[in-house]
Structure formats: C-alpha cells, structure tokens
Structure 1
Amino acid sequence: MQLYNKLSAKEREALIEEAGEDRLTLSFYAYAKIGNPKLFRDHLFVAWNSMDVLGRIYVAHEGINAQLSVPAKRFNEFKEFIDNIYFLEGCRLNIAIEQDSKSFLKLKVKVRDKIVADGLNDASFDVTNKGIHVDAATFNQLLDDPNTVCVDMRNHYESEIGHFQGAVTPDVDTFRDSLPIIEKDLEEHKEDKNLLMYCTGGIRCEKASAYYKHRGFQNVYQLEGGIIEYARQVKNQQLENKFIGKNFVFDHRRSERISDDVIAHCHQCGKACDTHVNCANEACHLLFIQCEECAMEMNNCCSEDCMKVNALPYEEQKELRKGKRNSNKIFKKGRSEVLKYKS
C-alpha cells in the first residue's frame, strides 16, 4: 500500500500540464481530539492519493490543518469524503480567491505535535472558550469603532504585503512570538477595548482568542474564515474592502491579490513591489521581495554571493551544500543583512 508520495515535483508538474484539467486550491482546519494521528494520517493519504489530491496537511492529537489542490471534477467526491468524517462534516472549505493548477505539486500528510506551532500549554486553559466569530460586514463595523484594537495574527513577511487598514502588525517571525507581545502591548485595555483579530484562514485566531480570554481580555472577536473568506464576502455582498494589498498564502502562488494597492517594496532596490520569491541558490532559499528588474540583474538571487554559487555546475552546488545547515536563513523569512531595503 502506497503511503508516501513517490513522484518528484517536476514529474507531477508534467502530469498536471499533460492532463490540462482545472484544479481547485482550498484550505480547511478543525480542532478535534484524534486518538491515533498516525492511523488517521495514513487513512487520509490513501484516500486523497487515489483522488489525485495534492497539498500539505498536518495532523495532530488536537486536529487537522490542511491546504490542498483538488481536481475540480472530483471536488464533490472529495467533499463527500470529508463529510463522512464526524468532526469534519460541514466543515468550511476556504476556496482560494486566485486559482492555479500548480499551487501544490506533492501530497504531504505529516503527523505533528500541533497543527499550528503556538508554544501554548493547552491543558492550562479552555481551548473551546473562543472569541466571537464575525463575518465581513460585522468585521468592518468593528474596525470602524474607535474602541477597537485590530491585530494581525500573522508574521512580518505576511503583513508586509497586505493587511487591514489601521491594524496592529507585530514584527514577528512566528505565531508563538506574537502572543506575549500583543498581550503586553494591550495590557491596559483588557476590559475597555474590543480585541479584533484576523489571520489567513482563521486557524491561528481560533487558539489565540481562547488564550486571550483566558488571560483576561473581555471583548474578543475573530474574523470567521480569515482574509480568504472576508475577500469572498466582500465581493459577493459588494461590501467595502478594508484590506489593502495582497494576502500571503503558503503554496506555490505565494499570494492572492485582494486590492490593487502595492504597500511593500523590493528588498534590493526599494522600488514599490509586493512579489515574494525564494533565492535561486538552493543552499539559501531565502524568502524575500524582489522586483522584475532586480530579478534579472541578480539572476533571481538575494545576494552576489548566492549568484556566484548559483552559477556553479549543479554537482558542485550539491557538494557545497553537504553537511551545511541553512535553516536560519530559510526560516527567518525576509530577514538578512544582504537585504538593504527590508523595512
């Protein structure tokens, strides 16, 4: 029985091009008590692999966090499968605003300690005592209320290219970093302010809202379905769009445009730009913002040193990468001394 992906990204990309069929990019999450995450993981892989589903899925004792690409013609089959899992029946599926058949090129289902790395001790508070979920219209109303503090629960490289008007955007690398910083900054307003939170699809706010209520915040609200669902409701209901720029997404698309505003800058020349790329040097792979002119001048690299490495024959590059750990560059996204115009 096949329980792991056997095709490379290039092989899968070729198959997708050959098929020439539409695919849907979507995401969903659910907090639930899963007794045997490994068994559940294998069950998902076998079923989704047979449906030609691709994506990145995390399974833990606390639930599931999934970002997927599903063949459009098999969506109903996929939805029926989801609905037959008791804690996923009727689960909201966040369909991507902008579609790309190559958003994911492999099926990866991984067992993790948590579906989102939050650093919290869940046993110390009631994770089910969450904040009030609000739709796009109510979110806009709360955002206009001078008694509201709106907080972006995402990381710096996400909010840099797009965020809600007037939102607090913590300069953090990870979700777990933001939790104590936000609490400290709002310490004096736990009772007299509305704490309004949002993230990409809602999963980070689910845990954060319960945590902040546990920490004494009285009026906690969270955007139902995150930015993805907000954009859909704004379009369908013809509401005012209060999100400016792009929504960062964790697949090959890297972002979805929500408004025409370009609020970020190329990290190499300072020109207005909001296009994230990864450094072409595989030993670096740094995520940063690069305009077309700099991409051409720097050969899609973040620095001259990386350009030199990337120009070497492939086998020489492999030799240079042996035994070297570059995780600090990879995971400190958008932070490097070589990026002159990183704000």
Structure 2
Amino acid sequence: MPVLHNRVSNEELKARMLAETEPRTTVSFYKYFTVDDPKAFRDRLYVQLELHNVFGRIYIATEGINAQISVPNSQFDAFKATLFSAHPALDQIRLNVALEDDGKSFWVLRMKVRERIVADGIDDPTFNPANVGQYLKADQVNAMADDPDTVFVDMRNHYEYEVGHFENALEVPSDTFREQLPMAVDMLDAARDKNIVMYCTGGIRCEKASAYMLHHGFKNVYHVEGGIIEYARQAKAKGLPLKFIGKNFVFDERMGERISDDVIAHCHQCGTSCDSHTNCRNEGCHLLFIQCPSCAAKYDGCCSTQCQDEMKLPLEEQRAIRSGRENGMKIFNKSKGLLRSTLHIPAPVAKDKSE
C-alpha cells in the first residue's frame, strides 16, 4: 500500500526543493461541489499528485476542494489532465496562476480532510452555498468600481486589506472569515438597495460570502470571478486600468504579489512607507507584521527589542520562555489598534487634541 503522507523532515524537503533546477508554476484553485467520501477522494488524489511531484497544501471536505500548489513545468499538462479527470465537477476547473513567483513557495505536499474548505462558522441547515452572487469579469469590475450605487466589500483579513485593496473598498476589520460574515451583514444593512460586490484573493471566500449575503436578504450581490488574482490577470491581458491598488497578500513564502506600484501600508515599527510582511525571527513569537529594511536591520528581523533580547539568551532559556507563553493569534492587528497575542509592538500614541 502506498504511503499517503510525508515521512521526510521539513528541512530536508526544503533543501531538496531549493536544489531543483526545473522551473515550477504556482497555482491555486477551489471548487464547491459534493464530495461523498472526502477521505477516499483525498487518498486517491494524493497518490496521483505525488506522481507529478506536486507540492503545496490541499483541503478537501464534503463541500469541495481548496488548493495552493506548485507544479514542475514539465508536469503541468499531465497534472491538469489528472485534476480534470479526478471528478466530473473538476473538469476544466479554473486555475489561478501566480502573478509573481519563482515556484519556490512549497516543498511538500500536504492534503487534509476538513469539515469545510474555508472555515465559515455557519451553522444554519437552510444556508445554501450553491446559491451564489453573479460573477464579474475584469471589465465588469472596472465599470462597477465607478458606479456610485455600488459598494465593494473586501472579504479578506485586516492584514491583507492593509497592503492592498480595490479603490474605496469597505474593510470588514477582522482576523477571521467566520467573524467577517455576520459583521458584513450588519455593516451593509443600510446599503441593501445598492449593488454589493464581494472580493477576496482567489474567489473562495467571496463566493461563499455572496451566498451568505443572499441568504440574509440582499438582492444585488456580485463577486469578482477568480478573486484579485484572476482580476489582475484579465486586466493586464486586456490593457485595462487597475482598480486594485497595492499588493495582494498570499499565504505562502512570498507573502504578497505586486498588483500596482502603489505602496499604501506602513512599517509597524517606524511608520515609513512599506508593504512587506514578515514573521518575527524570535521562535517564541513569529508575529506576522510589516517591517521596513531599516527596522529589519535595527531589530535583527524581530518585532521588538524584547524579542531581540530573547534571541540572545541561551537556547534553554528561550525554550523555557516559549513554554510559559500562551499561544496567540500571532498577528499584529493595526486596524483594531491592539495586539491579538502576547506582542510587544507598542500601539500608536494618540496626539493631544489640545495641541
């Protein structure tokens, strides 16, 4: 019986990937469809994708599939044939090819069976995820972006919105998609007569969000087909002006792809113009935050002097500190003006209004 999971260390796998000379293509895809036996489907597909040397992460649930992977260029056509034939619902599924990528984002194939392909917190048996809003292509997106009776709604996390978003888009400031859904309904209650355009990175969250809005009585609901990735590809291919400004955050080693030349975010430590996310180098922190090159040098890649000092301690002392520290969200939530874990970056000091 074939081994259906990886047995080699992460370090060795990454070293092997970096030593590869063949180019890879990074792609993402998702599909909402009924999977009768997710475990059997997962095991079958795992064996097939291993033959094509596919790396990345894939989630499978009874509601469908969600994947971010990299494929050797020489195997790409064979991979597509395998995927398209894996299930009738996957035939000719749209693949979102990364805009900026060296193919080094993944070094192991991880496939997991989950309750949902995107955690939504919905516990309503009457909710129908198949009843979605209307798809919009890039030219339609641009036309609606200039319409005063249209509201664009960003269904990504606050740290994604911070580095890039559609012009004048509404942010639903949250750390999780499950929190955003009811928040979006409340925030848009006064805009029920307007066109509601939902968008996200690759389409999976905004498609479900559009169904959720329809479920709650909104009528004119749309979502950007293929998300930001597909919008940018179509807009650039057709020579359309970009209505998305800044960088598109992605959940792999790159942490972002440049869409426009605009830099709309700021370093969380000094406030200079910057949109480069990183993780704190302190193994006991790993906070996700924005750091400019100057602060990276000043703080040795850490989020604070406290983490900088911790890294200088003997390893045993570092481990003792880590074991006594509670696990947190590990995300600097600038949009809420607070830190969602045991973080050390100080919140901005409010100016005295009497000055």
Secondary structure in structure 2 of the residue aligned to 1:204 = helix
Q: How has the CA–CA distance of structure 1 residues 314 and 6 changed in structure 2, closer, same or farther, with 3 Å as cutoff?
A: farther
Matches of 1:18 and 1:140, distance apart in 2: 42
> Residues 177-326 of structure 1: matches in 2 within 5 Å?
177-190=179-192, 192-314=193-315, 316-322=317-323, 324-326=325-327
Is 1:284–1:329's contact at 8 Å kept on the other side of the alignment? Answer: no
1:164-183 matches, within 5 Å, as 164-183=166-185
Compute the RMSD of aligned alpha carbons: 1.8
Q: What whole-Å deviation, never above 9, does each CA across 1:277-322 have from its counterpart, x for those lacking one?
A: 0011112111000001111111111112211222234454344434
| Structure 1 residue 122: Cα displacement | 5.2
Cα 1:333/1:88, change in 2 over 3 Å: farther
CA distance, structure 1, for counterparts of residue 228 and residue 348 of structure 2: 24
Matches within 5 A, 1:69-80: 69-80=70-81
* Letter matched to residue 344 of structure 2: V
Residue matched to 1:330: 330
Give the equivalent residue in structure 2 for 1:151: 153
User: 1:145/1:253 Cα in 2 relative to 1: closer, same or farther (>3 Å)?
Assistant: same
8 A Cα contact 2:96 2:230, kept in partner: yes
Q: Which runs of 5+ in 2 are unaligned?
A: 350-355
Q: Which amino acid aligns with 2:10?
A: A
Residue 333 of structure 1 deviates from its aligned partner by 6.0
- For residues 7 and 348 of structure 2, what CA distance do their matches in structure 1 show? 38
Cα shift at 1:107: 1.3
Q: Residues 7, 59 of structure 1: CA spacing in aligned structure 2 closer, same or farther, 3 A cutoff?
A: same
- How far apart in 1 are the matches of 2:112 and 2:305? 36
Measure the CA separation in 1 of the matches of 2:114 and 2:146.
39
- Tell me the CA shift for residue 240 of structure 1: 0.7
State whether structure 2 residue 8 is matched by structure 1 residue 7. yes
- Alignment deviations for residues 213-256 of structure 1 (CA, whole Å, 9 cap, x no partner): 11111100100000000110111000010111000000000000
- After superposition, the Cα gap between the structure-2 partners of 1:216 and 1:64, relative to the gap in structure 1 and judged at 3 Å, is same
What's the CA shift for 1:338? Answer: 2.7
Cα distance between partner residues in 1 of 2:188 and 2:19: 53
How far apart are the structure 2 equivalents of 1:218 and 1:131?
Answer: 9
Instruction: Report the count of equivalent residues.
Output: 341
Q: Distance in 2 between matches of 1:119 and 1:136?
A: 30
Match of 2:48 in 1: 47
Q: Deviations over 1:99-135 (max 9, x none)?
A: 1221112211111111101111252222211100010
Sequence identity, in percent? Answer: 52
Deviations 1:52-71 (A, max 9, x none): 11111111111111000111
**Counterpart in 2 of 1:136?**
138
Give unmatched runs, 5+ long, in structure 1. Answer: none
Q: In 2, Cα distance between the equivalents of 1:196 and 1:96?
A: 23
Give the C-alpha shift of residue 323 in structure 1.
6.4
Match status 1:339 vs 2:345: yes
Say if 2:196 and 2:221, in contact at 8 Å, map to a contact too: yes
Q: For structure 1, which segment, 236-245 or 180-189, has the greater mean C-alpha deviation from structure 2 after superposition?
A: 180-189
2:149 aligned partner, one-letter code? N
* TM-score where L is the length of structure 2: 0.91
- Residues 333, 41 of structure 1: CA spacing in aligned structure 2 closer, same or farther, 3 A cutoff? farther
CA spacing shift, 1:34–1:12, aligned 2, 3 Å? same
Contact in 2 for aligned 1:54/1:106 (Cα 8 Å)? yes
